[in-house]
Amino acid sequence: MSMLILASASAARARLLRAAGVTFGVRPAAIEEAAIAASLLGEGTDVEAIAAVLAERKARQVSMWAPQALVLGCDQTLICDGRLVAKARDIGEARSTLKTLRGRAHQLMTAVVLAQDGVAVWRHAESASLWMRRFGDEFLEAYLKTKGSGILDSVGCYRLEGQGAQLFERVEGDFFTILGLPLVPLLAALRERDILPT
């Protein structure tokens, strides 16, 4: 049986895997996501495909370091009005991101790739659509004060599984996909590869 390695430092993804009873190690990939995304956009890559490219690069890179392991690479991008929205680096940028998203729809593209010996052996991508409500500035400031820098881990500066749910009026898509890991298809792929019992 191969060992599974998560090529990500995401605490949310690790929590989801642990809660589902998956045993795994962690070795975050060392890639410059923002630079790669910018380069891909400059080359004319469709914004919807960027998460898949980044997930595969992460999985393949770490699988070269651990050739016997099955490596899980993941990525999630946020698209609003056809444009990629970058992760906020500080609370000021988080405020700006949330002001941009409020009252509008956006899409989360989530991709996962399993790689072994530097080769992608399984790929899956899903999207979800979310509509933020038109919350007021007072609500926004209270939210930022309450949640603090913890929201900077999420590309949209929210956690739907927590207080971030209050930001939305409508959500369409798989809950696990929104959290950054399409868990059900991934678990099926892990069973097919004897990482999990059938």
pLDDT in tens, the chain (198 residues): 579 999 999 989 999 999 999 999 999 999 888 889 889 888 988 888 999 999 999 999 999 999 889 999 999 999 999 999 988 999 999 999 999 999 999 999 999 999 999 999 999 999 999 999 999 999 999 999 999 998 998 899 998 888 999 999 999 999 999 999 999 999 999 999 999 998
Kindly report the CATH number that applies to the domain delimited by 4-192.
3.90.950.10
CB neighbour class for 117 (10 Å; exposed up to 12, middle 13-18, buried from 19): middle
Q: Could you tell me the pTM of the whole model?
A: 0.92
Q: Which residues are catalytic?
A: 75
